[in-house]
Structure 1
């Protein structure tokens, strides 16, 4: 049975699984479903067509499932889907999708979304990410698994950030960031690979060395993009840690950071 504070306003149409906790002065909309073990802190608003999985924690004053900040939006019943085990801190805003894309915003599992983060309409955020304070994702951004976005990172609409990538504090991302790469500056440029993050995730020295070699092919040896892509793709047949590059290249529609 859900535990609902007397001051909270929960629409009768909302679906709350067992052991969900709804804190003081929350507002839960009619088309919201919240999975077992999730906790919604004080003053949160969860609205829209929003499906939330199990064991999520929303700290105070977040607005989840808010309408897209898109002037083309006409109150269509687009969705927000959130997985399991996420922690969402104060004043985070996450919008539902728009019909101009797939009508869906998605946040995966085990993500750490820090205060004042904005995840706009139609974004796709994977698993095990960290979005540090004041990170802003414009519409249609895709963020891969195990990505770390430093504080005050801003990401232009339609950009993609590959798995295990990282951005530095105040990075302004206007093009696609390949897997494993660290991006820094305004405009964001490549600044090596996320080697410390890879070590923490169990990548061995040989794997990290191969990823560094791929980075040099892309950015340090004067090759064209097509030449570097061909060499990395060929090497990935023997080194599976390079496969994320191969998967990423066809999706990089805005061009790689340079």
Structure 2
């Protein structure tokens, strides 16, 4: 461990591997069996779970890039079994939420940036050089392809897939593929859903729900009421209705089926 600094106040679990040139500041917790590659910087207020892989030159827990941050005590919380590749940067929170949260079993590819107060769920893939502004929420099983830019406060629903080079400025509902410029609904995420155990009947239900949501010519309120009346109260239907109704930024637009 050449040129490595580990503060006396940092806590490392059992069997933690530390590479060369690593800096671990005070008030850092790293769980057992986590691997820290060369030249990684982990700053104060960072909490990292067990069985993670942090690859070379990542910077975790950096100060928020936000003018409202005034040095208050905030955290970065990273769960278990995450893979964080080279040159990833993840900032800690501000007074807004107090912490940035990364769930479990995510893959965050090289050069990605996750801003202050973001929330990432479980089993997500964040592609190469994805840029995520502050207070973005990414739900479980989301796949965001490389070089995508995500506006602050945006929400991406569970099981959604975002195509590469996208510009996300509206909320992306769950279970869909979003593509094109400007970003639009491009169909249900059929391949991803099948991989996760959704059967053909459930996928057809989702396709029918989104056909009404994105093709109804009157207004979104009427489309939501029609969906509520037409379909049984499945978990997926309720999730979609709640997502759209609670969206503050509005959702992306659709394509013709």
**1:30 corresponds to:** 26
Contact 2:85–2:109 (Cα < 8 Å) also in 1: yes
TM-score in terms of structure 2 length:
0.95
Matched, 1:107 2:102: yes
> Whole-Å Cα distance in 2 between the matches of residues 159 and 137 of structure 1?
9
Match of 1:19 among 2, 5, 15: 15
Work out the CA distance in 2 between the residues paired with 1:213 and 1:183.
17
Contact 1:235 1:242 in 2 (8 A): no
Aligned to 1:77: 73
Aligned partner of 1:220 in structure 2 is 215
Check the 8 A contact 1:126/1:145 in 2, yes or no: yes
Runs of 4+ in 1 over 6 A off after TM superposition: none
Partner of 1:204: 199
Q: Does structure 1 conserve the Cα–Cα contact (< 8 Å) formed by 2:244 and 2:250?
A: no
Between stretches 235-244 and 80-89, larger displacement belongs to: 235-244
Q: How do 1:1-258 residues align onto structure 2 when only pairs under 5 Å count?
A: 5-99=1-95, 101-234=96-229, 237-258=232-253
Corresponding pairs, count? 253
Superposed CA RMSD:
1.3
Q: Which moved more, 1:103-112 or 1:225-234?
A: 225-234
TM-score, normalised to structure 1, is 0.94
In structure 2, runs of 5+ residues without a counterpart are none
1:125, 1:229 → 2: CA distance? 27
Q: Distance in 2 between matches of 1:56 and 1:200?
A: 24
Moved more, 229-238 or 174-183: 229-238
